[in-house]
Structure 1
Amino acid sequence: MYHQLSKVTGRLVAATNLQSPLFPVAPIALQRVDPPAIQYTTAHLSTVTEASACSAPGPKRLIPGTNIPYAPVNETIKKRQELFQKDNDLPIFLKGGPFDSILYRFTMLLCVVGLIGIGHTIYIHAVPRKQ
């Protein structure tokens, strides 16, 4: 019996139309083929054209699968990258400066207030009131 996905429920149901098995019924054995040899990056495999390689200093990074180079990075983004990659023993969420420190402390305060609220709610429901 053949099955198909129902368009309404998304579950497997018995096929409503007649389906015949795929031919040939007996599968043909696959032919043995040697795997392709691994070719490492060489000059004749490079996707960088000669004109784009000579126009700017340094290697150009290309968008994968294309011959199009990435857009140039803005100077402010480069400065922010240097700031966040600096090894100054600060966690990443505090490397943005004093504003990040204020946001971190405010978030921790909200977490503590939320936990106190949860504890209060549990206490209210667990302990009956005196009448």
Structure 2
Amino acid sequence: MYHQLGRITGRLIAASNLQAPLFPVAPIALQRVEVPVIQYNTNQFSTVTEEACAAPGKRNLMPGTNTPYPPVPENIRRKQELFQRDNDLPVFLKGGPADVILYRLTLLLCALGLVGVVQTIYSHAIPKKQ
């Protein structure tokens, strides 16, 4: 038995015109299809050959290509050396005096925020005396 909404009342009524189900009773099996072979555009992508990796001048190749990595700018190389130096400083202080100032300012703001939270909790927990 199938139902539909009545046009006048808007309630469910028995449907007389829906004698067939809205979906197939006996589903038809899908046909098997071979998976397509992936084809790469060899004009845009080139694979790295064994000879290219064995050559001494071509060890810094980008993966999957025969092009070398671009050179690293000098300012980035200096920062890498600065941050990789073993001087027993945490990484957030290795930037110099500016990092120390920012670190201490952050600690000060965290402490002020903690004091503000404690003050708010105290003022809400203990009523004012009148």
Please tell me the TM-score bracket, short chain as reference: 0.5 to 0.7
Q: Distance in 1 between matches of 2:98 and 2:54?
A: 46
Q: Distance in 1 between matches of 2:28 and 2:52?
A: 47
Partner of 1:86: 85
TM-score scaled by length of structure 1: 0.58
Counterpart secondary structure, 1:96: coil
Structure 2: stretches of 5+ with no match in the other structure? 1-21, 33-48
Percent identity reads 53
Counterpart secondary structure, 1:123: helix
Change (3 A) 1:20 1:128: farther
How many residue pairs align between the two structures? Answer: 92
Q: Distance in 2 between matches of 1:105 and 1:97?
A: 13
Structure 1: stretches of 5+ with no match in the other structure? 1-15, 25-43
Q: Which has the higher contact order (CA 8 A, sep 6+)?
A: 2
Q: Which has the larger radius of gyration?
A: 2
1:22 shift after superposition = 3.0
1:124 aligns with 2:129: no
Q: Distance in 2 between matches of 1:62 and 1:49?
A: 11
Counterpart secondary structure, 1:108: helix
| Two-structure CA RMSD over aligned residues (Å) | 2.9
What one-letter code is carried by the residue in structure 2 that aligns with 1:90?
L
